[in-house]
């Protein structure tokens, strides 16, 4: 498919911050023209009887009730810690 006459591949490349060779410009212009052609084809489809949706399937809230529960015991929480002190995990200093 040929590239559309109103397609400015230099502007598109600039927006994408790409430096393209003349061969790449021609190739990408053809490919982008093909994509735009397919979009034009989709625009011709009659969707007047299709209800607009945000999701293909209904989305339901799956949260469980917020019920207080006992937490992990300190010993179990620190079991795999490489180093610990005063019931806390010791990590290397990252801020000076």
- CA 64, distance to chain mean position in Å, is 27
pLDDT of 91 strictly over 70: yes
Range in 7-11, 19-23, 60-64 the model is least confident about: 60-64
Range in 29-33, 38-42, 58-62, 69-73 the model is least confident about: 58-62
Global pTM reads 0.46
pLDDT tier at 72 (50, 70, 90 boundaries)? very high
Alpha helix stretches (DSSP H) within 16-73: 22-43
Pick 9-43's CATH classification: 1.10.20, 1.10.3470, 1.10.405, 2.60.40: 1.10.20
Domain borders along the chain are: 9-43
């Amino acid at each position: 498919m040929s590239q559309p006459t109103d397609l400015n591949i230099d502007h598109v490349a600039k927006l994408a911050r790409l430096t393209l060779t003349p061969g790449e410009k021609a190739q990408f212009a053809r490919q982008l023209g093909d994509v735009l052609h397919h979009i034009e084809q989709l625009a011709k489809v009659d969707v007047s009887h299709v209800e607009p949706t945000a999701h293909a399937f209904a989305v339901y809230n799956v949260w469980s009730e917020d019920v207080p529960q006992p937490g992990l015991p300190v010993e179990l929480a620190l079991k795999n810690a490489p180093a610990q002190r005063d019931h806390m995990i010791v990590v290397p200093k990252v801020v000076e």
